[in-house]
Amino acid sequence: MCRAAIPRARGVTRTFEGLLATAEGLHRIHDNADKIGRHRGVCAGPPDRLGAGPMSDACDGHDHHHDDGEMDGPDSPLVRSLAPSPNHDARKEPVSLLIMHYTGMKDGMAALKRLCDPNPPRVSCHYVVFEDGEIVQSVAERRRAWHAGIGSWHGRDDVNARSIGIEIVNPGHEFGYRPFPEAQIEAVIALAQDIVGRNAIPSAGVIGHSDTAPTRKQDPGELFPWKRLAEAGLGLWVPPVPLMDGPSYRQGEEGPPIQALQALLGMAGYGIQVTGVYDALTAAVVTAFQRHWRPERVDGVADASTLRTLRDLLAAR
């Protein structure tokens, strides 16, 4: 395991390249030592998080004459450790979204290794937040990390080009989805506030991965405390309307009410066509909406509570 402390100063990581090339450990940030010391102790902590590879020139895309993509240091003072991923490229749009994910793997270490793996399919994320609240940065915010994949929000695709991504360690629906610990949520909120403030991301731009890719993704899931984030000024939120009797629509139905539902979901930001047919895509989008804004029942059925919550959300914008 590499315990080398990497000073934050520009270019210094380069001089450590030989070391990093064989490093088995996470690269602690030397001049954050006061923070590390308060939190866990510089030298007394557990084994470093990961065997991260170097930020290789061979892996950083085609623009390294202008920007080699290296992290000179953390973008946020809340970051405790760097685990550089080689998986990123040049940003071509300004940042306007902050995307919340869960890792969906058995543990955080496995997820961090995956996010730094140079072998395909290559993925990455700007930040990983562990269950104890430790924040690791993997990709510089100015770079386009590969966390969101195919999807859209408010009619625009290439979500990666205009977003910063936070991976929150949780096994997810596949490996035992569970509530996010308090320390983790506090860290996510603090980090998100810092990111949103520095990048001038609008409140409504804080969304979940499943919002951008409803047919493929479930994260961060219905246990994610969006209300807590909203109370901290992050994301749009309205109180979910309680389950109630009333009009309800489901997959297979057709007609003007379905058209209206699809139009409203599109106004909220979801990638959906107004066809008047409650198809599988519509059910997936309703499911994604429920995970985020009406989590009491996540079933893809546009019941009266879901419809009213959607209207309240649109009215609150």
Contacts with Zn ion, residue ranges (CB under 5 A): 101, 209, 219
Those residues with Cβ within 8 angstroms of residue 185's Cβ, 6 or more apart along the chain or in another chain = 225, 228
What minimum distance in Å lies between the beta carbon of 268 and Zn ion?
19
What whole-number distance in Å separates Cα of residue 265 and Cα of residue 286? Answer: 8
Amino acid (one-letter) located at 262:
Q
Specify whether 167 is catalytic: yes
What minimum distance in Å lies between the beta carbon of 209 and Zn ion?
3
Closest CB to Zn ion among 56 and 215? 215
**CA dist 170 → 28, 47, 173, 190, 223 (Å):** 23, 20, 9, 18, 11
What minimum distance in Å lies between the beta carbon of 59 and Zn ion?
22
What minimum distance in Å lies between the beta carbon of 49 and Zn ion?
20
- 70, 167, 231, 296: the catalytic one is 167
29: left (phi over 0), alpha (psi -120 to 50) or beta: beta
Closest CB to Zn ion among 125 and 261? 125
What minimum distance in Å lies between the beta carbon of 84 and Zn ion?
20
- Length of the chain counted residue by residue: 317
Give the residue among 152, 298, 274 at the shortest CA–CA distance from 218.
298
* Token couple for 285: 């989008």
Closest CB to Zn ion among 101 and 292? 101
What minimum distance in Å lies between the beta carbon of 125 and Zn ion?
8
Closest CB to Zn ion among 80 and 101? 101
Most distant pair of Cα atoms in the chain: their distance: 66
Which residues does the annotation mark as catalytic? Answer: 167
